[in-house]
Amino acid sequence: MHSIHPLFWCVPVGSVVALAFAWYFFRQMMAEDEGTETMRKIAAHVRAGAYAYLRQQYKVVGIVFIVITLVFMFLAYGLKLQNPWVPFAFLTGGFFSGLAGFFGMKTATYASARAANAAKDSLDHGLRVAFRSGAVMGLVVVGLGLLDISIWFLVLSHFYPIGEAEGHNLIIITTTMLTFGMGASLQALFARVGGGIFTKAADVGADLVGKVEAGIPEDDPRNPATIADNVGDNVGDVAGMGADLYESYCGSILATASLGAAAFLGAGTDVQMKAVIAPMLIGAFGTLLSILGIFSVRVQKGADSKALLGALGKGINVSSALIIVFSALVLYFLKIPNWYGIWGAIVVGLITGIVIGRATEYYTSQAYRPTQRIAEQAKTGPATVIIAGMGEGMLSVAYPVLAVCVGTTLAYLLATGFTFDSDTMSQGLYGIGIAAVGMLSTLGITLATDAYGPIADNAGGNAEMSGLDPEVRRRTDMLDSLGNTTAATGKGFAIGSAALTALALLASYIEELKIGINRVMAQLGEFTFPDKTVVHSANEVTNLSLFDMMNVFEVNLMNPKVIIGLFLGCMMAFLFCGLTMNAVGRAASQMVDEVRRQFKEIPGILESKAEPDYARCVTISTFAAQKEMLFPALTAVIVPVLVGIVFGVPGVLGLLGGALAGGFALAVFMANSGGAWDNAKKYIEEGHHGGKGSEAHKASVIGDTVGDPFKDTSGPSLNILIKLMSMVSIVVAGVTVSFSLL
């Protein structure tokens, strides 16, 4: 392992620093006062519910992971079709992803009452507590991500030493590490889907009976589903998002590293090594700069909401500007060939993320026409609100898609030196991958601004239930709505990076195929491709460019297998959303029935004379989520395997391409429709079209309820679905290759 580049050590250092600061911010938050007895009690209720949910969730997920690990062990040790490290890498990915979610949730459940209590003091004190708690989550996610990457890189480079002549080992190391990406993806999918179903079942149920039927306000302690609703924010928006972004972060770095190993194979191990560690270094420096950015979020005592938003924006801008400078320095000192082109790709990635974020904001914020148009349609009732929200959401797909297309093209061309030549293809794809890394490099702080939203939301819930002064609630609402604006940018980065990462993963799949072919060739002496080309040596396989591989596997758009794959890929996106939407619908129905039952059977709830049975609602959401999350998640694992067996490599690549293009459009549509309905309601509540209590308001509440599963369950899960299907295909590529010989 003599030849690991010395700069690599920045990565574990970055990881440790991130985790240390996470710990520091956590202690700082814990040192705050948790407020009155009632506040503590409510926070304890929510915490207990969240823990109970997570325990149940990890139990179910644990079983799935054990089964899949056993299958991988059989494939690796029994049939010798797979790399022996796969089962372990897979497990750690899942474990760390779950851990990131757990720490985030733990912090959030301790922070909510403290943030509410701080908001009693002042708006800026509230922001500080909530934002620093969000920062814990941001730093835990990137810290654990870099830790997992560092450990595996060191371990594997011990077993596959990287000498001058062993460029292949770097390919094996990086593609093996992708397996832990699959573990992280699967965990993330469970967390997002399960958490999403939990939170929206509780939310929809609480709103429909509480707000609409009983006419009591949001977060009212008389509503039996209100604790479940607050638990939901923690398990869905915090734990789910943590696992999700852990996966995005690691996925983009690992995919790029693996592409780097492949793209620079011919240039010598030294250059290859640099290309592999470059994305990790960008991540490490981005983390350090994020910490700087977090500290730069300071507000004067008594600052107003505009100043707060300015402070948050400043934090992100400082980190982003610095990462542009630092990544140039890192690449320059690494002396990667064409470093300025690769640096350009990173900048393009950052800008693409910002553009998508701005587009998201335009289509979902009440400050702009689309959301206002939806609010206007509320005057003619719920039907027109829904139609308008769907229409605007579908239109909103255009800008993000165009941004991804332009960003991809530029990143590709910058990395190849402005040519579409087939020989520089791998470098171009490396450029696309590193653009995704650039987009996510400052995740430490963008995630902090994202995660602080649900914390503020929960603080508001706590304030309401504890009967604090309405001014406190007003302040937490303001914090929450600030969070919505910064979250739009965060969502842009999440979905944009998913698209670019998935693109890069397509190329990693091809590299993994080559490894599978070599394994087969080692046993049979030769390998025949579908187009009848025969290879006899590992060298011949290595020399096949990505385009050559496409030709020999006949992965072109006239091949019906590719077209069938495209159809199935788009279908998967819709099927997945249909399953999760229906799951929310069913679970919400159960919740509605339960809340109605409690109102009827427990006398005195509405007069605050009796306490509702909160725990029962939490249990309903928990079990509904567990039951409903299994089928969609397992479908995502099984379909790529089946398609690989039946339609081979062309089918798999079609499937992934279809899921990527179709899933991206569907995800943007659902997220933006949902967000716009939410804010159209808020716009009306601000006093437009009759304000609160008007017919238009009632119509907009219906729009908001429809939007809940759109934006918090189905939409965000699609990001992960796209990547999980790619990861699964990569991990079972060797099996697909063997089947193609039957």
Which 453-472 positions form the footprint of its own copies (CB under 8 A)?
A: none
Q: Of the two residues 516 and 709, which places its CB atom closer to its own copies in the complex?
A: 709
570 binds its own copies (CB under 8 A): yes
Contact between residue 72 and residue 642 where contact means Cβ atoms under 8 Å apart: no
546 binds its own copies (CB under 8 A): yes
Contact between residue 455 and residue 111 where contact means Cβ atoms under 8 Å apart: yes
The DSSP letter of residue 240 is: I
Choosing from 276, 294, 549, 676, the residue that interacts with its own copies (CB under 8 A) is 549
629 binds its own copies (CB under 8 A): no
Q: Distance between CA atoms of 359 and 364, rounded to whole angstroms?
A: 9
Q: Going residue by residue from 641 to 680, which x/- string records binding to its own copies, judged by CB under 8 A? A: ------------xx--xx-xxx-xxx--x-----------
Binding range to its own copies, per CB under 8 A, among 96-104, 226-234, 397-405, 516-524: 397-405
Instruction: Output the smallest distance, CB 503 to its own copies, in A.
Output: 6
Instruction: Output the smallest distance, CB 401 to its own copies, in A.
Output: 4
Task: Show contacts with its own copies in window 406-445 (CB under 8 A).
Answer: 408-409, 412, 420, 422, 425, 428-429, 432
Instruction: Output the smallest distance, CB 722 to its own copies, in A.
Output: 12
Task: Show contacts with its own copies in window 703-742 (CB under 8 A).
Answer: 705-706, 709
Number of residues that bind its own copies (CB under 8 A): 91
577 binds its own copies (CB under 8 A): yes
Choosing from 38, 305, 589, 694, the residue that interacts with its own copies (CB under 8 A) is 589
Half-sphere exposure of 205 (CA within 13 A, CB side): 36
88 binds its own copies (CB under 8 A): no
75 binds its own copies (CB under 8 A): no
Q: Of the two residues 29 and 544, which places its CB atom closer to its own copies in the complex?
A: 544
579 binds its own copies (CB under 8 A): yes
How many other C-beta atoms lie within 10 A of the C-beta of residue 328?
17
Nearest Cα neighbor of 741 from 516, 583, 549 is 516
Binding range to its own copies, per CB under 8 A, among 144-152, 220-228, 434-442, 572-580: 572-580
Q: Distance between CA atoms of 490 and 477, rounded to whole angstroms?
A: 19
560 binds its own copies (CB under 8 A): yes
Instruction: Output the smallest distance, CB 106 to its own copies, in A.
Output: 32
Contact between residue 714 and residue 680 where contact means Cβ atoms under 8 Å apart: no
Q: CA 185 → CA 284, 407, 636, 643, 724, distances in Å?
A: 21, 24, 11, 19, 5
Contact between residue 34 and residue 167 where contact means Cβ atoms under 8 Å apart: no
398 binds its own copies (CB under 8 A): yes
Contact between residue 189 and residue 726 where contact means Cβ atoms under 8 Å apart: no
Choosing from 70, 212, 610, 642, the residue that interacts with its own copies (CB under 8 A) is 212
Which is it for the CA torsion 581, 585, 591, 596, positive or negative? positive
Binding range to its own copies, per CB under 8 A, among 75-83, 168-176, 604-612, 701-709: 701-709
Contact between residue 733 and residue 513 where contact means Cβ atoms under 8 Å apart: yes
Instruction: Output the smallest distance, CB 739 to its own copies, in A.
Output: 15
592 binds its own copies (CB under 8 A): yes
Relative orientation angle of helices 369-377 and 614-685, to the nearest 10 degrees: 100
Relative orientation angle of helices 470-524 and 86-121, to the nearest 10 degrees: 170
Instruction: Output the smallest distance, CB 383 to its own copies, in A.
Output: 4
Q: Of the two residues 43 and 209, which places its CB atom closer to its own copies in the complex?
A: 209
Nearest Cα neighbor of 287 from 185, 492, 145 is 145
Instruction: Output the smallest distance, CB 575 to its own copies, in A.
Output: 5
Contact between residue 289 and residue 442 where contact means Cβ atoms under 8 Å apart: yes
638 binds its own copies (CB under 8 A): no
Q: What phi-psi label fits residue 696: left (phi over 0), alpha (psi between -120 and 50 degrees) or beta? A: alpha
Q: How far apart are the first and last CA of the chain?
A: 39
348 binds its own copies (CB under 8 A): no
Owner of token pair 């302690």: 221
Contact between residue 118 and residue 129 where contact means Cβ atoms under 8 Å apart: yes
392 binds its own copies (CB under 8 A): yes
Q: Of the two residues 515 and 661, which places its CB atom closer to its own copies in the complex?
A: 661
Q: Of the two residues 136 and 552, which places its CB atom closer to its own copies in the complex?
A: 552
